[in-house]
Amino acid sequence: MINELYILLKNKKNTLIVLQDEKKEDIVSNFFSLSGGNIGIVSSKFPLLSNLETVENVFLPLMYKRNLSLRQCCEKFYPWLKGLDLEKIMWLRKEKLSSEEIFRAMFLRALCAESEIIFFQYPKVSEIELVVKFLKEFEINRFIWILVTAEKVSQFYKFNFEQVEL
């Protein structure tokens, strides 16, 4: 399975990753999280932190890795923040957010990291619709990888992504 994942890393296409055995989920998640920073991750396994406001959760990786201030991050990514309708909730902690707001904040966090691939673990179809629309509207080139179970893969066929089975 690890060899298949390394091959997948070379795949520069929008991809549905169909997990045939849910016991392998942790292997896939851990592999992508250790990929060296080329993959942004939107997953409940990498949640927003409770003791930070949303703005800090979204921009902390940039502040740390690129030595940007919070103000610089907000200014640089304000159009995306506004486009995802997050400006009113950025100073709230995750406990005050709806599941949709949490998803959008996690997507923005992954997007701002400027990774060429964004990996979504078990998203809803409506969430991927939002992502596809947003990327197109803002002319952002990122590859979307979606981890789905074999039972739910058909819900995502409408996106016409390449399909890989693990």
Number of domains making up the chain: 1
The total of other beta-carbon atoms located within 10 Å of residue 81's CB is 23
Range of the domain at 123: 2-165
Nearest to 124 by CA among 142, 143, 97, 106: 106
For every one of its 166 residues, what pLDDT tens digit does the chain have, with 9 covering 90 and above?
666 776 777 777 898 989 887 777 777 777 777 766 678 889 988 899 988 999 999 998 888 888 888 999 889 999 999 999 999 999 999 999 999 999 999 999 999 988 888 999 999 999 999 999 999 999 999 999 999 998 999 999 999 998 988 8
CATH number, domain of 156, equals: 3.40.50.300
